[in-house]
Structure 1
């Protein structure tokens, strides 16, 4: 099962996040998805997830995820990531800075029937906001 989970995670980041093919999200996400993003958003459906991703893509059109580590235990996985992008669009009322950003994060997944049912993203928001020159967040 660990090999299958690793492959799902790698394809999820490549296809959904890096290639921005949100129409493929259902390949990886269970309809009952419970997703918590590092920017304080929580969604409970594939459509809600896609709305969240579109918001990020509008602020960071070239957002890219690099997997640093994957640890799998049964039906759960922890992934350490590095995010890179250029702040080219408005984000939570903060005007685009044009700044290139790079910060670390992690995502904790739970799987059922080879689909992601739970994902909790924790990003280094202090590093992100510092690179965006945001003082009040």
Structure 2
């Protein structure tokens, strides 16, 4: 089961996040997904998840997730990630800077029937916000 969940996680990040194919989200997410994003927002359901992802894609046009570690135990998994991208759109009160961003985070997943039913992302927001306010020069 651990190998199967690891593969689901890898495909989820590659397809949904890195390729930005939100129309494929239903292959990975339960219709009743509870998702807590690294920016402090909580959404429910696939539509709520897709709205959150679109907001991030609008702020970071080339957002990319690199998996550093995956630990699976039973129906749960923990993933350590590095997020990169360019700040090309407004995010909360931060106007686009064009800055290249890079920050670390982790996501904790719970699965049912090979679908993600719960995801809680914790990102290093201090590092991210510092990059959104700093001059690139």
Q: TM-score, normalised by structure 1?
A: 0.96
- 1:133 CA displacement: 1.3
Counterpart in the other structure of 1:81: 81
After superposition, what is the alpha-carbon deviation per residue over 1:13-40, rounded to whole angstroms, capped at 9, x for unaligned? 0000000000000000001100000101
1:32 aligns with 2:32: yes
What is the DSSP-based 3-state SS (H/G/I as helix, E as strand, rest coil) of the residue aligned with 1:52? helix
- 1:93 CA displacement: 2.5
| Counterpart-to-counterpart distance in 1, 2:82 and 2:38 | 13
Counterpart in the other structure of 1:133: 133
In the TM superposition, 1:113-124 aligns within 5 A as 113-124=113-124
| Counterpart-to-counterpart distance in 1, 2:47 and 2:24 | 12
| Counterpart-to-counterpart distance in 2, 1:99 and 1:128 | 11
What is the DSSP-based 3-state SS (H/G/I as helix, E as strand, rest coil) of the residue aligned with 1:96? coil
The count of corresponding residues between Structure 1 and Structure 2 is 134
| Counterpart-to-counterpart distance in 2, 1:131 and 1:41 | 20
1:61 aligns with 2:71: no
